Copies of this chain bind each other. A is one copy, B any other.
Amino acid sequence: MSLSVDRDKFQAADKPTLYKQIRLDIERRILTGEWPPGHRIPFEHQLMTRYGCSRMTVSKALSELAQADLIERRRRAGTFVRRPKFLSAVLTIPDIRAEITTLGRSYGYQLIQCSRRAANAADRARLGVQKAGKVIAISCRHSADGVPFAIEDRLIDLDAVPEAATADFAIEPPGTWLLHHVPWTEAEHSISAIVADSQTAAALDIASGAPCLVIDRHTWRSARTLTAVRLVYPGESHKLVARFKGG
């Protein structure tokens, strides 16, 4: 029986070796905006005199930053801070409201239910937390041009996200609010298919027994659960598309 031995990779204070110090130093300058996107980072031979080490060492630091997509290295030209990377936007959590409005369609939102309560056993299981705390449970519906687009059933851990108590989910969809107010570090999508029961069918205005695509999303910040949400989409009219490179 292990009490969830979770090796905290954020606190794991690596021994500050030289190349790691260099990497962190440059990373800090980028993240604080001291070196904005497009900025040219000092040449390797300048960095080696600055840090008093060999070129291989600064090269190792820069290589890791390049692999993490924070910088871009171009022969002869130099090394540059990358523009806001698309990869993260790509793997980011979609904001349904933005998704619909950017397609030029009108977005509609109805709050079905919103309650605040102490977490019961089912809530704790769904959030994957041990001890009881307060949660907000929300049911709502998104629509595009008046046609139901998705129904959402969400649980927010109020201990992890106390600010959520002040949000008005009758006006702003919880997903949109969270995206704008709460930073997250990890997320997991679990995608499956179901057939609509009568209640779901009524909410989505489809036939009972029609296929639906389900996304169960769990979101964390530093190993702490923030929210769990289930989104149900009419399965014939919606598709998830993922395009990627490999080889």
Q: Which has the most chain B C-beta neighbours within 10 Å: A24, A68, A243?
A: A243
A194 at the interface (CB under 8 A from B): yes
A122 within 8 A of B: no
Beta-carbon contact of A195 and B183 below 8 Å: no
Chain A 208-237 against B: per-residue CB contact (8 Å), 1 yes, 0 no? 011111100000010000000000010110
A86 nearest in chain B by CB position? B6
Min CB–CB distance A211 → chain B (angstroms): 4
* Complex partner residue of A187 from B6, B233, B238, B243, CB under 8 angstroms: B243
Given A187-B243, A187-B246, A247-B184; A91-B192 close (CB under 8 Å): no
A235 and chain B: residue at smallest CB distance: B193
- Minimum CB distance partner of A214 in chain B: B193
Alpha-carbon gap, A190 to B213, bound state (A): 12
With known contacts A192-B239, A213-B191, A185–B4 Cβ distance under 8 A: no
The residue that A212 contacts in the complex, of B150, B211, B245, with Cβ under 8 A, is B211
**What B residues does A233 contact at CB under 8 A?**
1
A3 touches B240 (CB 8 A): yes
Q: How far is the CA of A229 from the CA of B187 in the complex (A)?
A: 28
Separation of A67 and B150 alpha carbons in the complex (Å): 36
User: Which stretch of A7-15, A40-48, A151-159 is in the interface?
Assistant: A7-15
Known: A246-B92, A246-B184. A189 touches B241 (CB 8 A): yes
A216, closest chain B residue (CB): B239
Provide the residues of chain B in CB contact with A7, threshold 8 Å. 87, 90, 243-245
Distance A123 CA – B153 CA, assembled complex (angstroms): 40
User: Can you name the residue of chain B whose Cβ is closest to the Cβ of A233?
Assistant: B1
A189 in contact with B99 given A6-B86, A90-B5, A209-B195 (CB within 8 Å): no
Contact yes or no, A1 B187, CB < 8 A:
no
- CB contacts (< 8 Å) of A235 on chain B: these are 192-194, 211
User: Which residue of chain B has its CB nearest to the CB of A212?
Assistant: B193
A25 touches B (CB below 8 Å): no
Report, nearest first, the 10 A-B pairs whose CB atoms are least far apart: A193-B235, A193-B193, A193-B211, A191-B240, A5-B242, A193-B213, A91-B244, A188-B243, A189-B242, A192-B239
